[in-house]
Amino acid sequence: MPLPKSPAATDASPVTSWRPAAEQVIEAGRDGFARAYVAAARGARRLARASGLIAALDRRRHRRFPLFLRSLFAVHDIDELDRLDLPWWTFGAIERVDAFLREREGAARAFEWGAGASTLWLSRRCREVVSVEHDAPWWPPLATRLAAVPNVRASLVEPRAAAAPECPSGRAGWSGVEFAPYVHAIRDAGGPFDLIVIDGRARAACLDEAVHHLAPGGLIVFDNTHRRRYEPAIARSGLRVERIGGFAPAVPWPSQTALLSRT
Kindly list the residues in this chain that would bind ligand SAM in the complex (CB under 6 A).
76-78, 87-88, 114, 116-118, 133, 135, 138, 199-200
Least Å from the CB of residue 263 to ligand SAM: 25
Helix (H) or strand (E) holding 128: strand 128-133
Q: Other CB atoms closer than 10 Å to residue 8's CB: what's the count?
A: 11
Can you tell me the distance from the alpha carbon of 114 to that of 150, in angstroms, rounded to the nearest whole number?
19
Closest CB to ligand SAM among residues 23, 135:
135
Least Å from the CB of residue 254 to ligand SAM: 16
Closest CB to ligand SAM among residues 76, 243:
76
Closest CB to ligand SAM among residues 1, 99:
99
Least Å from the CB of residue 133 to ligand SAM: 6
Four-CA torsion 63, 123, 230, 212, nearest 10 degrees: -140
93 CB contacts (<8 Å, ≥6 apart)? 221, 223, 244, 257, 259
Closest CB to ligand SAM among residues 8, 43:
43
Least Å from the CB of residue 134 to ligand SAM: 6
Q: Give the Å distances, CA to CA, from 193 to 70, 84, 131, 153, 247.
A: 32, 26, 12, 14, 27
Helix (H) or strand (E) holding 259: strand 254-261
- Cβ atoms of 102 and 187 within 8 Å: the answer is no
Least Å from the CB of residue 7 to ligand SAM: 29
Q: Which residue is nearest to ligand SAM (CB)?
A: 116
Closest CB to ligand SAM among residues 56, 149:
149
